[in-house]
Homo-oligomer: A and B are copies of this chain.
Amino acid sequence: MISEKMSKLLERSAAMSSMYTESARLKEKYGAENVYDFGMGNPNLPAPDSIRETSIRVLQETDPWYLHHYMPNNGFPEAREKIAASLNRRFGEHFDANNIMMCTGAAGGLNCLLKVLMDPGQEILTFAPYFGEYDRYADNVGCTLTTVPPNIPTFQPDPAALEKCVTEKTRAVLIDNPNNPTGVVYNEETIRAIAAVLAKKEQEYGHAIYLISDEPYRELVFDGASVPWIPNDYKNTIVAYSFSKSLSLPGDRIGYLALRSEVEDFENIVAAVAVATRITGFINASGLQQLVCAKCCDETVDISFYDKNRKRLYDALTAYGYEMPKPEGAFYLFMKTPTENDLEFVEKIKEHRILLTPGSGFGCPGYVRIAYCVAPETIEGALPGFKAMMEYYKNK
* Smallest CB separation, A152 vs chain B (Å): 28
Interface positions of A from 4 to 51, Cβ below 8 Å from B: 4-7, 9-10, 13, 17, 40, 42-47, 49, 51
A64 in contact with B40 given A1-B265, A118-B3, A253-B282 (CB within 8 Å): no
Closest to A42 in B: B70
Interface check A300, CB cutoff 8 A: no
Which single residue of chain B is at the shortest CB-CB distance from A284? B251
Query: In the complex, A300→B326 CA distance in Å?
Result: 55
Known contacts A108-B282, A111-B280: does B10 contact A272 (CB below 8 Å)? yes
Closest-by-CB residue of B relative to A12 is B275
From known contacts A264-B1, A287-B251, infer whether A279 and B119 are also in contact, taking CB-CB under 8 Å. no
Contacts of A253 in B (CB 8 A): 104, 282-286
Q: What is A's interface to B at a CB cutoff of 8 Å?
A: 1-7, 9-10, 13, 17, 40, 42-47, 49, 51-52, 55-56, 59-60, 63-65, 67-71, 104-105, 107-112, 115-120, 122, 133, 136-137, 140, 142, 171, 207-208, 210, 248-254, 264-265, 268-269, 271-272, 275-276, 278-289
Q: Are B117 and A251 in contact (CB under 8 A)?
A: no
Q: Which of B5, B68, B71, B248 interacts with A47 by CB under 8 Å?
A: B68
CA distance A32 to B17 in the complex (A): 54
CA distance A120 to B4 in the complex (A): 10
CB distance from A139 to the nearest CB of B (A): 8
- What residues of chain B lie closer than 8 Å to A272, measured between beta carbons? 2, 6-7, 9-10
A301 to B108, CA, bound (A): 30
Picked from B44, B111, B208, B248, the residue with its CB within 8 Å of the CB of A281 is B111
